[in-house]
Amino acid sequence: MEYGIIGTSIWQQNMPLFERLTLDRATKAESLKKLKAELGVDELIYLSTCNRVEFVYATRRETSDAKILHRLIDVFFRDQADLSFFPNDFYHYTGKDAVTHLFRTISSLESLVVGETQITGQYKEAWQEAVESGLSGAALENLIKEALLVAKKIRRETALGTGSVSMASLAAGELKKQLEGKTDRTIALVGSGPMTTKMVKYLAEYLPSRLVFVNRTVEKAEKLAEEFGGSALSLDDFVNSPVDVDAIVSSTAANQPVFDAAFLEKLPLSQASITCIDLAIPRDFSVDFTGAEGVKLVDIPFLKSQGQGNLRQKFVEAGKANRIVREAVTRYLADQIEVSLKPIFRSSYKESCELAKRALDDLFSHRVTGLGEKDQEAVLKLVTKLIGHSSFQPVRKLSDHLVENRPDLSITDFGDSSRKAV
């Protein structure tokens, strides 16, 4: 099975592309089933976070990786002639590079805030959703489980996560800086996803405030208000008649801005300013909020720049983590190649065992005639064991050598050979 990852992230700095690849939650499952069929892959996992979108696939079909990328581009952009992008706005990893990228990503080595643990849970959730939707099977299950073990090993053996922060904690820290002087604070939390729950917990610790939960489905907002304390509003009511708040933190799954110029005009700016924190992809606040008088707009790139503290220590720990990833990739791929190659060597092993048995039968019959039946069986067992060791030991050494010396390694090269041998 060949692995591949196609994606884009905030590092590519093409937000319109990022937003286009972010699927609507309500139709995501159906969209991914159609996408899997159009790509022609066997398994597919879709990850969408506040800073990256990735399509992880596994295929045993003879379809080039370039065709898979072109098909994906065609699916998303056949009706988007006005959206421009360049080849380097995407990244596309295959084979060894794909496994390495996945292990690094799940271990938080590719995160905006290196060492945060949120991405590990997000990837696990994405994989479970793919399994439940029938999109992912044994190949990606094996790969994801191994990546999760690598992430666990890095957390256990390095201090990479010590003092690490998430986007939610960075947002709470920015709110604390902006609102700390105010004694009577009201904050609107828009959306009912995991980010809102995380924000509530950080605010309770760093910046106790009156909370207004806002959601398109008001029942979800009411449930949050009941659980954490506060009031609830429907999104329509909040947009049409915004209440007087000191800050708005928004993390919805809307596919277009929730707050636009019309909303901006309705805002009751009785305070010196209002802080708007946009944690959504696509963005919840339109460009009208950028530089607007009385508004402090904070977005994900800004928060990223605030989370790069303690760089020297993180550099040291990241080096340790990178070594763990390299060793894990080598071990994992070598295991896969070994499994693929063993059928080829197994036929040689069987032939050697049969030859050894005939030779021993002749030896016991004509030359060493004094051994009893049990002793003869013991000798045969020992010889068979030695043949097995000499037959399969080279497989492991060859697998390790290939992984270490072939940067363009493709597992399917060996899979095809093993199937022919069988």
Using CB atoms within 10 A of its CB, is residue 216 exposed (0-12), middle (13-18) or buried (19+)? Answer: middle
- Residue 47 DSSP SS3: strand
- Do 279 and 167 meet the contact criterion of CB atoms below 8 Å apart? yes
| Paired residues of 2 in beta bridges | 59
- Do 187 and 238 meet the contact criterion of CB atoms below 8 Å apart? no
Residue 58 backbone phi and psi in degrees, to 5: -135, 135
Which strands sit side by side in the sheet containing 210-215, from one edge to the other? 231-234, 210-215, 186-190, 247-250, 274-278, 295-298
The rounded Cα 110 to chain-centroid distance in angstroms is 10
- Do 278 and 300 meet the contact criterion of CB atoms below 8 Å apart? yes
The terminus-to-terminus CA distance of the chain in angstroms comes to: 17
The percent helix, strand, coil of the chain (3-state, each to 5) is 60, 15, 30
210-215 and 231-234 strand pairing: parallel
The answer to whether 50 is a known catalytic residue is yes
- Do 95 and 3 meet the contact criterion of CB atoms below 8 Å apart? yes
Report the C-alpha gap between 342 and 61 in whole angstroms: 22
Catalytic residue among 50, 114, 135, 235: 50
Catalytic residue annotation: 50
